[in-house]
Amino acid sequence: MKFFLLLISFIYLFAYENVTVQLNWKYQFEFAGFIMAKEKGFYKQAGLNVKLKEIDKNIDVVDYVLKHENTYGVGDSSLIDSALHKRAIELLMPIYDHSLYVLAAVNIPEFKTLQDIKKHDVIMDQFAIKSPAILAMLKAQKIDISTLNIKQMNYFEDINKSGVFAIYESNKLYELQKLGIPYKLFKPSDYKFDVYGDIFFTSRQEYNNHPTRVKKMIDATKKGYIYAFNHIDETINVILNKYNTQHLTKEKLLFEAKILKKYLSKTFTFDTERLDHIANIYILVEGVRHVNLKHCHKSLYNSIYYYLKFTKKEQEFIKTHTIHAISTDSWEPFNLMINGSLGGIAIDYWKYIKSVAKIKSTCTVVHQWDKVLNSIKDKKSDLTCSTTITPDREKYALFSKPYASFPIVLATRNDVGFVNDIEVLKDKTIVVGKDYTAAKLMKKHYPNLKLLEVKDTNEALKLVSEGKVFGAVDILPVIAYKINKYNYVNLKISGKTPWTFNVRFMIRKDYPELVSIINKVIDSTPKSKRDEIYKKWIAVKFQTGYSNEYVNKIIIGISLVLILILILIIYLIRNIMKKTKLEKELENLATIDKLTSIFNRYKIDMALNEQIEIAHRYNRPMSVIFFDIDHFKRVNDKYGHKTGDLVLIELVKLISQNIRKSDIFGRWGGEEFLIILPETTLIQAVKLAEKLRKTVEEYDFEEIPSINISIGVTQLQKGDNITSLITRVDKFLYKSKENGRNKVSFG
């Protein structure tokens, strides 16, 4: 046993991949995400051994990253300038949504406007001199930087002198305020020049050669930042004990954390409009910085600008053709009707491609997939947005590159165990959409299966739900979306098939120019745009494989006998982990609300039934809190649905922080939420409800000033079932609304 434990330890030792992160300053709270990802083991959990490296005054961060393998770096929006100048870097994610560089007129009482900068010394370090927002702010005020008395400093120490300092708002403001030194701030954002703060990046070589490692670094670092800003005191103590090379005080770190929390990225993804805005800033400062934008275009490639070159033939095609698209409206979430309009992943992608390539188009919506195929075959339509290649379709159509890939999965009733091999389904009836790719694959590779073809996946899932067939097959997003949307509470995703569905555009055979145009836009589509589309419709990402890099490291220096033993152990561990993780992801997909990440209606219904049964069986108290947001429609109408979604996310986080771990919290629908309180009397539940109401009322939301909630509370009574309990608590919720809202009613 000890031998095997030593072997497993040996495996893990060699399994870690060594990675370096070159920071762009000394350790402080600014880099709390990297520090906590390392200290809390998030990197280790991803198989990464990460070394954090403080800056040295002789280091150019971009040069360092490009010259060293397995290396990542932190920079600011000047990285976009580096990318524009064809340096081989890839921008991975923004850490802070806004730059903290500001100009501070220190100890100059007579300093009134930015124009007064011409009369004083300007102290900038090596980074501020490259800040596009600072330069653009000066340029917009018609201040020629070459005429200023600039004193460049590598490390800014003496804040007591008079002058105009380029400072980091979260850092040097603390010293000014503590010493009582008068100052006046000039922020680029006040002049409409808003750029990203810290940006996480790596070399293009690392990005292309090790995509799995890049994703692990992004995910673990993001997790580190979320943890750090949710546990500020703990993070400060870690910095003070292990990373305090600048001899910072707890008070100063807390000051820094409070400012940075306002700037921390909400999504950790790039926004194309923001990047366009930053490109325009470079255009403004071109005369100062000599930025060459002639080869750049407003389309992005991996978060930088990429020139889309359409040939003369392609340009002529775009100019002379109106593309007639055709689509079904029942393959959710790729094609579906929303408020009378066609939407979905495929439709959003087509809209994006049209906007980039300036394509004119029309769209016909039909209900049957075979009509789509026949229309393309007969050249009555030119394109459809979501299909894949099959031999029969290649006879009459052309196909784009894939813009998404998903596993084909099996859905069954809840009483079926995990299915990891299609062979076990030999005696079962499997239902699939007629002429769907899944149907063709099943017929080809498993001809002996009992396969039933129906109109679409809606009908397939209905048959499974009614117990008339064993399971339904389609691609992961379609199955998951429909189970959630149509409340198939007795269905789950039980396993996956051996196949992956590559989603493509299908184009009529005589339009090769259109294929080429679409492929160029797909190639140039930034990761941020892809993420934006997918996250809008898909709740979880699916793991598709494992890297062979671990195995290569394990076999070094190990004898043939040990290699055989290690391979066996690795194989067993990976299969267990893979199956466990897959089951967990499939379960989350069907039970978690994709916007707020708490239980969805399906799961909260199940939990409520379970708790009612437990409370009745053991004669224990149980209460429920039912609440919704007052006048939430006004929030959406005034601020937009995107802001409304952010408010819902923030509200859920606030409520979660103020209830017990044993309480069960879920989204009932829209802006309505249910909290199940086991072992809780009515008096205790009312007290909690009043606390939640007051907490929400007093909370300062990021996106809007404030909101209120109306609450209904009731305790489970003898003979209650889920219907009677929800009916009663809903009555008290509406009583709160009728009495003026922002109230708690109970009984």
Residues serving a catalytic function are: 671
Residues whose CB is less than 8 angstroms from the CB of residue 153 and which lie 6 or more positions away in sequence, other chains included: 123, 124, 125
**Residues in a beta bridge with 451:** 430
Backbone angles phi, psi at 549, to 5 degrees: -65, -35
Amino acid at the residue 185: L
The residue written with tokens 């990761």 in the block is 527
d(CA 312, CA 318): 10
d(CA 542, CA 582): 8
For helices 132-140 and 272-284, give the axis angle rounded to 10 degrees.
60
Strand pairing report for 335-338 and 341-343? antiparallel
Helix, coil or strand: residue 283: helix
Q: Which two tokens stand for residue 457?
A: 């996946």
d(CA 511, CA 398): 8
What totals of helices (H) and strands (E) does the chain contain, helices first? 29, 29
Kindly write down the DSSP assignment for every residue of 587-608, as one continuous string: HHHHHB-TTT-SB-HHHHHHHH
How many CB atoms are located within 10 Å of the residue 218 CB? 19
Question: CB of 375 within 8 A of CB of 326?
Answer: yes
**Which helix (H) or strand (E) is 105 found in, with range?**
strand 101-106
Q: How far is CA 164 from CA 179, 259, 395, in A?
A: 17, 21, 70
Q: What share of the chain is helix, strand, coil (3-state, %, to 5)?
A: 45, 20, 30
Cis status, amide bond into 333, omega within 30 of 0: yes
d(CA 505, CA 401): 8
Kindly write down the DSSP assignment for every residue of 284-312, as one continuous string: HTHHHH----TT--SSEETTEE------H
Kindly write down the DSSP assignment for every residue of 339-408, as one continuous string: TTEEESHHHHHHHHHHHHHT-EEEEEEES-HHHHHHHHHTTSS-EEEEE---HHHHTTEEE---SEEEEE
Backbone angles phi, psi at 154, to 5 degrees: -75, -40
Kindly write down the DSSP assignment for every residue of 2-29, as one continuous string: HHHHHHHHHHHHHHPEEEEEE-SSSSSG
Backbone angles phi, psi at 653, to 5 degrees: -60, -40
Find the Cα–Cα–Cα–Cα dihedral 217, 219, 224, 226, rounded to 10°.
Answer: 150
**Residues in a beta bridge with 91:** 201
Question: Chain centroid to CA 113: how far?
Answer: 41
Q: Look at the alpha carbons of 235, 238, 240, 244 in this order and tell me if their dihedral is positive or negative.
A: negative
Beta strands, E only, 476-525: 491-508
